[in-house]
Structure 1
Amino acid sequence: MSHLFEGRGNCKVLCGVQGILAQLALMFVAAMCLALKRHYERPKRSARIWLMDVSKQAFSAGVAHLSGMVWAIIISSHTAVEGSQCAWYLLVFFVDTTIGVTVALALHKCFVKLACDRSHTGKCDASGDDSTFVAALKVTTESVSRCGEYGDPPSALIWLPQMIEWTLCTLVGRIFSGGLVAVAAPLFAALASGMDTLFTSDIAELWTVMVLGPLSMNLVQVVVQDAVLKWNSRRAESSDCFDGHGSDMEDFASPYSRLLGA
């Protein structure tokens, strides 16, 4: 199995301290971008709501990052293609930023619409405490359908289904992007190999691929995702998704509390 981690080039996505520092730098810049956006947004979200919104991106970004590295290692290890792991990581990242994010957002919209429809029709309604599973399913449905709303006061039990749903959407988008690049690897091979020739140092290529390259794409990506994942009060006022079903999200969290023994 060790040959899967060798690749064809010299730059590797997992290369000790430099690799870790580069990835931490990318995370820091993305977080600063979101913090700057929050500073100028009006109306401004509370710190707790903002942290809940951002944490959904943090979890999904971590999963997507690991998926991207796995794809880069697998593709670069194939004997029929050229290019280092770093070059293939950047290619997968680029495809994910353009196509994968579109897939993730479309899937997210479908999940929210489905949850909204089920809540509106009462298909997840649970009378009494007869079925804890059905009650918990209702909590999940209501939570996903009200993306960015966490109750008053904000509850982690309402945030959790939203985080899982968005992470799943992001993972599907990254898997789709990586698979697309893998299938078309012979077509991208010359481009990947060409990227490697631009650098005389593996460390320079690593930092370019992990920080400078994704930076410009991440600046757009995290802002777009944040706009989608946060709760828009105007959207809440114009939505009839919850007519007759109430809007007090803290009431929906009680089945989860029972499941956790709270």
Structure 2
Amino acid sequence: MRVLTVSGIFLVPEVASPDNEVSYGLTPTACLLASCDEVRSNLSPFLSLLLDSTFTAPFFGMHSWFLDEHSTSMFKKAHGLNFWEMAEQDDTYNQLINDVMVSDSNFLMDIILREYAGVFLCINSLIDVAGGHGGSARAIAKAFPQMKCTVLDLPHVVEEAPTSDHVSFISGDMFKYIPPADALFLKWVFHDWGDEDCVKILKNCKEAIPPREAGGKVIIVDMVVGSGPNMRM
């Protein structure tokens, strides 16, 4: 535990205990990984995924991956499948990913709906593209109960999704077809794909929404290279 005080996970109180034994306390970072009053949802599923052998194994082959000029990703070189293909084949790994997505949505959507609620105004229908088990869609539906919220994801994801009175689920492939809606929501989607694949997704998005003057929207939550910590939506 003392090692983790260096990385800011735990802290050692300045006031020693009566028996001079070392005690540890939680930092704000630790509260993201545990059940704390300050944080509604913890992000511990991320650790479960990052420490899973399926995820870590590719890094042990990094040397050969660097030397292979024809290789794709480290993950595919190690497993013969890409990240998402592995999830389709391995139920345990698929569950890890879905748990991560739900925990991320529970944490992040609180911030998005507090800071950028105006983005969702005047929308009657919304599809969460590649929305997993519907963590984001449920948060949006709760904040805007008049909105019809639907999740689009692959069949093996939708099959395991929990039932919901406020969110419906559709099995499908965003590379082939996205059902029509007033707005599309894509959280942590584009950074997983190359430029050509992203263009395919965006073209399908354009086909699915009304024209801009009619209120059509594509709402994207993702990382922007070089944006810096102060960039806002």
More helix by share: 1
Bigger relative contact order (CA 8 A; separation at least 6): 1
TM-score by length of 2: 0.26
TM-score by length of 1: 0.23
